[in-house]
Each structure stands twice: as C-alpha cells, then as structure tokens.
Amino acid sequence: MLYQVEMVVKPPKEMDASTFDEIKSREKSYSQDLQRQGKWRHIWRIAGQYANISIFDVESHEELHNLLLALPLYPYMDITVTPLCRHPSSIHESDC
C-alpha cells in the first residue's frame, strides 16, 4: 500500500542544539534504513520549510502507523497521511 506522508518538524525552542542534533542523527539513520528496506520509497524536502513529502510502501495502515511512531522526531512533528492508489491513466506498472 502506498501512502503520501507530509511531515512538518516543530522542535521546541528551548531544546538545546546538541540534543536536537543527536535526535536528527538517529532520525537520519532510521529513515535511511527504511529506505534501504523499500518501505520509505521517496523523500523530498519542501522548499522554505522544515518539512518533507514522502512516499511509503507498506503492508498496512498499522505498519505505517508503527513506523511513524518510531521516528525519533515524531514527538516534534505534525504529520498528514494520504493513502494512494494507482491512477488508471498511468503508464507505469510500478505505480502500485
């Protein structure tokens, strides 16, 4: 199942830089592991924001939910999830 996930990061202003850097390092490692597994298929930065649009390819709503909850930055994110399905006019068979 494909999902578009928009993540807007809103770290607390009072968080010290070294703590935030450590969280971001764990986030990068976790996200790259999910990309290597094929679960996090694409990630794009939203220009001018501390945000991204990502495409996840997972087996279920529950799997996506659990992956997102495990993001180290999750407590500091606003997340919007949109389920996706193949468009009948698409010429790409890999769109499913």
Is 59 in contact with 53 (CB distance < 8 Å)?
A: no
Q: Which domains does the chain have, with CATH numbers?
A: 2-95 (3.30.70.1060)
Taking the CA atoms of 33, 95, 58 and 62 in sequence, report the sign of the dihedral they define: positive
3-state secondary structure of 59: coil
> What is the predicted pLDDT for the residue at 24?
97
One digit per residue, pLDDT tens: the chain, 96 residues? 999 999 999 999 999 999 999 999 999 999 999 999 999 999 999 999 999 999 999 999 999 999 999 999 999 999 999 999 888 898 887 766
Can you say whether residue 94 is alpha, beta or left, with left for phi > 0 and alpha for psi between -120 and 50 degrees? alpha
Helical H runs in 2-92?
17-36, 61-69
> What is the predicted pLDDT for the residue at 95?
64
